Amino acid sequence: MGLRENITNPFSKWMDGNAPEADVVISSRVRLARNLASFPFPHQLSKEKANEIIHALQLAINNKKTRAAVGPMELARLAELTPVERQILVEKHLISPDLLKTREEETRALVVSGDEIVSIMVNEEDHLRLQCLLPGLQLEEAARICALLDDALEQTLDYAFSEKLGYLTACPTNVGTGMRVSVMVHLPGLVINGGIKELLAFIPKVGLTVRGLYGEGTEAAGNLFQISNQVTLGRSEEEIVSGLGTVTEQVIARERQARQQLYRYRRDALEDRVWRAYGTLRYARLLTGDETMKLLSDVRLGVNLGFLKGPTPRLLNELIVLTRPAYITKMAGKDVPPAYRDSLRAKLVREKLKDLPE
Amino acid sequence: MGLRENITNPFSKWMDGNAPEADVVISSRVRLARNLASFPFPHQLSKEKANEIIHALQLAINNKKTRAAVGPMELARLAELTPVERQILVEKHLISPDLLKTREEETRALVVSGDEIVSIMVNEEDHLRLQCLLPGLQLEEAARICALLDDALEQTLDYAFSEKLGYLTACPTNVGTGMRVSVMVHLPGLVINGGIKELLAFIPKVGLTVRGLYGEGTEAAGNLFQISNQVTLGRSEEEIVSGLGTVTEQVIARERQARQQLYRYRRDALEDRVWRAYGTLRYARLLTGDETMKLLSDVRLGVNLGFLKGPTPRLLNELIVLTRPAYITKMAGKDVPPAYRDSLRAKLVREKLKDLPE
């Protein structure tokens, strides 16, 4: 699948709802920061040098060993993509918003595999940011795939590495393994019962960060949170992955307990809330992005608790991405005012939800 | 159809949506206050005398002329009906709440025709209150049917009548024709655009009264209002009927204009509101009576404006009655706490709305 078709198709492999612990964990991500020896870090990189890196990477991904490790990948320069296409890649979590935050679009590039499990940002904060994004709780598998890709690229590329410090990175917080790991979790139970406050206070104490995926803190739109590691230096890859994994298991247990208690003690109110959300999504003619996230969260909770059968977790994941502004704009074929976007968003959601079994 | 089946069946002829001006006027009612000569007014009536009146009326409705005029009618003493059955008759607008406001239930009775167009309250404030209730704007037809019934009963009964004052009534405000006329109108357009305030101020100036059918003033649940005459003495039946008719025509014109303007200038928001209401009614698991009225009002507006096709006006009228507390209680077979009533109400509404075309 070419990159353009990837952008047009809202589905990414990470949206597959059929994955470990997918009732709470939407996706798992591992990201490795890598830089090439004898090149300045991107913020001091000339256009010519940046181009050299892009060329070197192009060769590296076409390398037989790389293709054997993670399958075919396609490289695109940022300048080849329209602003809407770039934004869609952000909304699909394949690149960071930071990759777009510059006027030097000619120095930047990205690589995406056909199933979108693997992506590489080129000349963002570091020369390379290798990413593996998988559905559900699969941190170890994501780390394994990242390591395969990393090893394959290293056959061709000369990484900046210090025996003492590990991989060298533009920002000192990434030095060492250069590894960032994160999970995207859906925590409606803890938000409804208030337990989220305790969690938000606890997680930083074990060296992790938690933030709303869209919006911040307890106001996180759609009750989606991202938990990630802060520290890389002085820890092994295995320690980083298992540390986040252990905390995630605890979060899963708390969230499931919260849901079960809500279902046991406030079942009528909970079912009412879920079905109203479903009814609104099925019939509303105007939906803002934030309201859509909130309603999708309620519907997902009903699906996970088993009393709402129509929408699949995969469809709900797709809808999160499909209803973000860039996708709507792409669907409209042009930039549209927010009010019209709300109308298009509602139409899109209606079409996706109609004819589902109830 | 017997009275008990009437009570069980939520449909009354006045709920027929296929009637003149039914997009604004739900129903038209004419009520005549009549008293029998040589009996004290009900508040001073002994049980024996009250019984004599009930017997006299029983004979009068079985009279061939009465049956020819308005068809077969059935009489029931209030004491024969359970509290829930009495309340249902109020909710169907066949009797007034005042008929139930006494401990002397043995002195009270009611008469209802099979199609429920005609009903008679016995020993409420007056000995007899004859009512004709028709769908849409049909005040003249309702007055004609009332007059037929009135004439037929007068063949047998000796009315208290003064050549100078007209029909004598327990309350002086009814003396003369003894005629009260009213229309039940649905005014969502005027409530949304604020025009209702002007209307509420204007109507009393022409000798009419307006009030919320459930609730008062601009807070009328379901945007349903009743407009009725205040004065009977010194005016002929024709003047009373045509007076209310003229004002109602003006109300209809204003309401239609308000709806068209909303549809023209705020179409997206209006359609969104209507469809959300429909989605909530179709899926909610808990519905209070007030919220149901509000949502039904929005849905009715969409049906009247032609963009929501599923529910018929008749079904919406039925749902207003079906979702009042007494009907829900009857459906449950016993008195139920309000929270459970909300659950039953939502279930009932869902069942009525599912499988409708969209």
Confidence (pLDDT) at B75: 95
Select from B63, B89, B70, B117 the least CA-distant residue to B10. B89
**Could you count the other beta carbons within 10 Å of the beta carbon of residue A268?**
14
Mean pLDDT of B218-246: 87
Q: Which residues in chain B are contacts of A285 at CB distance < 8 A?
A: 268, 271-272, 275-276
Least reliable range by pLDDT among B113-117, B168-172, B212-216: B212-216
How do strand A224-229 and strand A208-212 relate by DSSP bridges? antiparallel
DSSP string spanning A265-301?
A: HSHHHHHHHHHHHHHHHHH-S---HHHHHHHHHHHHH
Question: Cα(B42)–Cα(B56) distance, rounded to whole angstroms?
Answer: 15
Establish if A33 belongs to a structural domain: yes
For residue B214, the distance in angstroms to the closest alpha carbon of chain A comes to 25
Confidence (pLDDT) at A219: 65
Establish if B200 belongs to a structural domain: yes
Do B158 and B27 fall within a single domain? Answer: yes
- Choose from B271, B283, B340, B356 for mutation: most chain A CBs within 10 A: B283
Give the range with max mean pLDDT: A63-72, A275-284, B13-22, B202-211: A275-284
Confidence (pLDDT) at B333: 81
> In chain A, which stretches have pLDDT less than 50?
1
Mean pLDDT of B114-143: 96
Do A71 and A203 fall within a single domain? Answer: yes
Confidence (pLDDT) at B266: 94
Do A247 and A273 fall within a single domain? Answer: no
Select from A138, A108, A129 the least CA-distant residue to A34. A129
Do A50 and A88 fall within a single domain? Answer: yes
DSSP string spanning A186-230?
A: E-HHHHHHSTHHHHHHHGGGGTEEEEESSS-GGG-GGGEEEEEE-
Establish if B232 belongs to a structural domain: yes
Select from B71, B66, B85 the least CA-distant residue to B128. B66
Please give the model's pTM, rounded to 2 decimal places. Answer: 0.90
Count of positions (residues) in chain B: 358
Using the 3D structure, point to which of B242, B258, B274 is the last residue of a domain: B258
User: What are the Cα distances from residue A356, in Å, to A277, A279, B240?
Assistant: 15, 12, 55
For residue B339, the distance in angstroms to the closest alpha carbon of chain A comes to 9
Interface of B with A in 24-53 (CB under 8 A): none
Establish if B133 belongs to a structural domain: yes
Residue A283, chain B, CB below 8 Å: the answer is yes
Do A209 and A278 fall within a single domain? Answer: no
The residue of chain B nearest to residue A267, with distances taken between CA atoms, is B285
Using the 3D structure, point to which of B238, B258, B278 is the last residue of a domain: B258
Residue B285, chain A, CB below 8 Å: the answer is yes
Do B340 and B206 fall within a single domain? Answer: no
For residue B287, the distance in angstroms to the closest alpha carbon of chain A comes to 9
Question: Cα(B281)–Cα(B351) distance, rounded to whole angstroms?
Answer: 10
State the total domains in chain B: 2
Do B186 and B71 fall within a single domain? Answer: yes
Interchain contact, A275 vs B269, CB within 8 Å: no
Select from B69, B116, B77, B66 the least CA-distant residue to B99. B77
User: Which of B269, B278, B283 lies at the smallest CB-CB distance from A275?
Assistant: B283
Mean pLDDT of B6-11: 81
Q: Is A232 exposed, middle or buried (0-12, 13-18, 19+ CB in 10 A)?
A: buried
Do B211 and B300 fall within a single domain? Answer: no
Q: Quick one: pLDDT band at residue B193, thresholds 50, 70, 90?
A: very high
Confidence (pLDDT) at A171: 87
- Choose from A283, A299, A345 for mutation: most chain B CBs within 10 A: A283
Do B108 and B206 fall within a single domain? Answer: yes
Longest dimension (CA), chain B: 64
Q: In this complex, how many residue pairs, one in chain A and one in chain B, have their CB atoms less than 8 Å apart?
A: 55
Exposure b/e, A114-127, CB count within 10 A at least 16 = b: bebbbbbbbbbbbb
Read off the tokens for B299.
């849905």
3-class secondary-structure state, position A307: coil
Print the domain residue range for A79. 3-258
pLDDT at B337 over 90: no
Interchain contact, A269 vs B286, CB within 8 Å: yes
Establish if A358 belongs to a structural domain: no
Read off the tokens for B274.
């209507």
Read off the tokens for A344.
């298009």
Do B276 and B330 fall within a single domain? Answer: yes
Do B174 and B272 fall within a single domain? Answer: no
Q: Which residues in chain A are contacts of B343 at CB distance < 8 A?
A: 268
Could you give phi then psi for residue A346, rounded to 5 degrees? -65, -40
Residue A1, chain B, CB below 8 Å: the answer is no
CATH number at residue B117: 3.30.590.10
More confident position, A252 or B354 = A252
Question: Cα(B343)–Cα(B2) distance, rounded to whole angstroms?
Answer: 30
Question: Cα(B25)–Cα(A13) distance, rounded to whole angstroms?
Answer: 56
Establish if A146 belongs to a structural domain: yes
pLDDT at B285 over 80: yes
Establish if B358 belongs to a structural domain: no
Q: pLDDT, tens digit, for every residue of B62-116? A: 989 899 989 999 999 999 999 889 988 998 999 998 888 767 788 999 999 989 9
Do B342 and B232 fall within a single domain? Answer: no
Confidence (pLDDT) at B212: 85
Using the 3D structure, point to which of B234, B258, B282 is the last residue of a domain: B258
- Choose from B275, B305, B344, B355 for mutation: most chain A CBs within 10 A: B275
Establish if A231 belongs to a structural domain: yes
